[in-house]
Amino acid sequence: MAVKTTTIKPRKRGQKPIKFRKGGLHRTTHTPMGQKIPAWKIQKAKAGGYGPLGKKQAGLAGGPLKKGRQTVAMHRKQNRPNIHKMMSSADLYMMAEQRIAKKRRRGR
């Protein structure tokens, strides 16, 4: 079975692309695919308990990949509250009036 390599493109000039195998840390820590890797295994991998490859994989999982997942989760629509559904029409009208008054003060 061929293992697919994933590449993350650099965001800034001068950075190198990040290449890794999906599921590599699961294989290294002997965790079945689909299950979450326990925190103690990740700590052991970061300390080098699973060898140099495991150390690199754990660093990657806790660094750029984790930040990417957090960014995606933050930008999902269902995670953002809809303020218009939570406010009454009187509150929305008051906000609009405040916005208009602010524009008048600025001279627009």
For residue range 3-44, what is the model confidence (pLDDT) as tens digits? Answer: 688 888 888 889 888 888 888 889 999 999 889 989 899 899
DSSP 1-45: -PPPEEEEPPSSTTPPPEEEETTHHHHHHT--TTSPPPHHHHHHH
In a domain, 108, yes or no: no
**Which residue range(s) make up the domain with 57?**
5-81
Amino acid symbol at 77: K
In a domain, 90, yes or no: no
Contacts of 7 (CB under 8 A, 6+ apart): 17, 18, 19
Contacts of 34 (CB under 8 A, 6+ apart): none
Number of structural domains (the chain) is 1
Digit-coded pLDDT (tens) for 62-93: 887 777 777 777 776 655 566 666 677 788 88
In a domain, 16, yes or no: yes
